Copies of this chain bind each other. A is one copy, B any other.
């Protein structure tokens, strides 16, 4: 009979969730059992005496006895059943069934769970699961690279050369020189000037320039940013804001890196609000020159890449002053260093010093003390000073002219998210491959399990894998729109670029954070590169426009579009608007459908698209109404926009997510390979449902979904993470990042 208590006794002495209190519970129980003889009671009680523990051997014998019994009775399903068998099926014990079950309850143990712990489980679902190669990885790579495959391949070949071995020094002076050398190699390969016109030695191919930025971003990100400053910002500002005389004089030398240069827009006190720049360019009639001047310390140019060390010239943005009159911000080419690399008279350059990341880029501050430049140095595509010293421009409004100038430079807001996405792809490749190999924990008695088999681990990484695919296609779409833009589309495309820049770089920030944590200590060692990927891309959320500010811009654009499109509509029209292009959305508000939870429905891309569209339109209309209401109530428009700032982020997010999902779906439709298509569909499903889950508070608040539905979606997201895990390694393999670029020690050998 004694043996019936073995499992309980074993548990109480070994389970670390049971405390001393439970010894009392068991002792009480034994004392109260009438069917146990006084002698047996005494013996039993002595075995649960906290001051007199069994020997380690005895405990071990108990365990062996339990194991043996379970081996001989594989069909046992409850702790009580096990105990009954151990008791030799003693009648008295059998009769004590209820009180025994009650004891189990009071101890807070779940018999079936305990039993499963006693068994050696070699083949649990979790431990059996593993990576499979169910589709052709190279086909998937083809789908991703599409018509950019050739240039991508060429760039990969270059950054895989031994000269591109990573620099690991912490000496930023050395690092900066290395990055400059790399840039020179790329210039020599005619990659830097890819977007410049052919007549100035360039490739005349803007599309390939973006592919280059993206592919370079599998390598060192300081290199990418230095490259972008030189050829994208400095070069393109001369190209887009200047005229033929500037192109002839500078473009070739910029493309060969003979003239390293800067893009000097941001000032210490004016970053996002560039309209408020304070540097001045004062026209001198007599000498036909401009004096470039920094009024005070806070007006110095700051964070300027290429400034601290290598830059010789700069495109400087400054307010043009003629005869004391301010003509708004214009751009000027200003030499900052002489041939011997000393600074030009009147120019003061300081080093921004060590940064969180991108330490291979020499950011600096620049101050001008009435530095004189010739009149022809004004980049005069949009405005000029004529022979009589009078201002001329085809765009009469200073603000509008400046925004038009900025509009020509929107390419940066395409290059940066594409670069950031590459960094996230690198991080995901490292983290997913590592998690597929690294084993820890496992079923009792079984071997350890790849950590990627754990549901939380999947929950951390799979949604970002899905997002990386989603964003890949959306950024290709953005690029395409930009390359084929017409005048009338410019505002939409500028807003889309601003939004995609913000949305992507925030996603990259979060995705790399998950990669870091998912890799534990290994993710903290610089040798595994998550460090650099994270810290280098950290500033992506700030430069080329602070994300929060950009999202406000996107929202303002959406509001403007909304008002223009629906200026004619009344309230009824507004409602129609919300449901336009989402014809079944009205039906969705039908209780039967707001509650629909079957997989066929939840995995239907039309359902996803409708849900995204509905959210986009409802939020937009609601923000417009709120703003109008506040202003109508007498609130200053500036204050009203401030009050609704938070809502504006939602307006922009909902819009961007709809675009991303739409483009993902379009790419899937165009995919022919069946196996690849299936994986892309799964990723799209995860992207869509994960975002709906993120916004479930909104959907429930709105009534578009009921709780049964949001609960079903959560379950399905978990299931999709589990399903995609099997393909996760081939899915990151498809990014086809050169092994030497991944560079993580943990993946070697």
Contact = CB atoms under 8 A, between A and B. Distances in A.
Interface of A: 13-22, 53-56, 58-59, 102, 104-110, 112-113, 116-117, 121, 124-126, 168, 170-172, 266, 269-273, 276, 302-303, 327, 352-357, 391, 393-400, 403-404, 438-444, 446, 448, 453-457, 459-460, 487-488, 490-491, 509, 513, 516-517, 520-521, 523-527, 530-531, 534-535, 538-539, 541-543, 546-548, 552, 556-557, 559-565, 567-568, 627-628, 631-632, 635-640, 642-646, 649, 696-697, 700-703, 707, 710-711, 718
B116 A521 contact: no
Contacts of A644: 455
Given A17-B560, A353-B527, A455-B643, 15 more contacts: A16-B491, A17-B491, A56-B393, A102-B568, A107-B567, A121-B638, A124-B636, A124-B638, A125-B635, A266-B521, A271-B520, A355-B525, A355-B526, A455-B646, A520-B542
B396 A105 contact: no
Contacts of A398: 56
A459 B538 CA distance: 20
A521 B303 contact: yes
A416 B561 CA distance: 51
A13 B455 contact: no
A703 B711 CA distance: 13
A535 B270 contact: no
A614 to B, nearest CB: 16
Contacts of A106: 564, 567-568
A113 B631 contact: yes
A561 B524 CA distance: 35
Interface centre among A394, A563, A638 (most CB of B within 10 A): A638
A567 B526 contact: no
B557 A456 contact: no
Given A59-B396, A400-B13, A646-B459, A356 B526 contact: yes
A702 B162 CA distance: 59
A517 B547 contact: yes
A718 B559 CA distance: 22
Contacts of A271: 440, 520-521
A19 B535 CA distance: 39
Contacts of A530: 356
A726 to B, nearest CB: 15
A121 B564 contact: no
7 contacts: A17-B560, A125-B639, A125-B642, A170-B171, A271-B521, A353-B525, A356-B531
A396 B636 contact: no
Interface residues of chain A: helix, strand, loop or mixed (majority):
helix
A548 B400 contact: no
Contacts of A355: 524-526, 531
Contact of A637 (B116, B357, B509, B707): B116
A391 B56 contact: yes
B538 A524 contact: yes
A15 B559 CA distance: 14
A743 to B, nearest CB: 13
A513 B116 CA distance: 43
Contacts of A59: 396-397
Contact of A567 (B108, B170, B491, B628): B108
A53 B628 contact: no
A108 B395 contact: no
B637 A113 contact: yes
A448 B270 CA distance: 10
A19 B356 contact: no
Nearest to A60: B396
A161 B202 CA distance: 58
Nearest to A396: B59
For the complex of A and B, the 7 pairs showing the least CB-CB separation, nearest first, are: A105-B567, A108-B563, A108-B564, A14-B397, A116-B637, A697-B697, A700-B700
Contacts of A440: 269-273, 276
A370 to B, nearest CB: 25
A441 B702 CA distance: 34
A611 B703 CA distance: 22
B116 A352 contact: no
A115 to B, nearest CB: 8
Contact of A696 (B15, B441, B535, B697): B697
Contact of A112 (B22, B110, B270, B637): B637
Nearest to A708: B701
Given A356-B526, A710-B701, A170 B168 contact: no
A711 to B, nearest CB: 7
A459 B552 CA distance: 14
A542 B556 contact: no
Contact of A110 (B20, B563, B635, B649): B563
Contacts of A531: 354-356
A547 to B, nearest CB: 7
A639 B121 CA distance: 10
